Amino acid sequence: MPIAVALLLPAVQSARHAAREAQEMNQLKQLGLAFLNYCDTHKRFPANIYDTEGKPLLSWRVQLLPYLGGQTLYDQFHLD
């Protein structure tokens, strides 16, 4: 039995690595699509949100939330 486990372990680790890699690629694809959809809607790339004195309030990532399925979270941010 220990020999079988030792033989299967590299295959299991390889499968986990491949699954993790596929998940990361999918997340990058979703982020790219969110950028493109934002640009189509607003005719510009997302930028940081600043107050009237030039102090940064929120990151550009907040503006992508609605395009990544995070509309509920986006609605909780005060953009002013």
Residues 8-26 have pLDDT tens digits of 888 888 899 999 999 999 9
58 beta partners: 49
What's the whole-number mean pLDDT along residues 35-48? 95
What's the whole-number mean pLDDT along residues 35-44? 96
Please tell me the distance from the alpha carbon of residue 18 to that of residue 29, in angstroms, as a whole number: 16
Specify whether the backbone of 69 is left (phi greater than 0), alpha (psi in -120 to 50) or beta.
left
Output the CA angle 21-62-58, nearest 5 degrees: 130
Q: Where are the beta strands (DSSP E) in 1-80?
A: 49-50, 56-58
For residue 45, what pLDDT is reported? 93
What's the whole-number mean pLDDT along residues 41-64? 91
Residues 56 and 50: beta-carbon distance below 8 Å: yes
For residue 10, what pLDDT is reported? 83
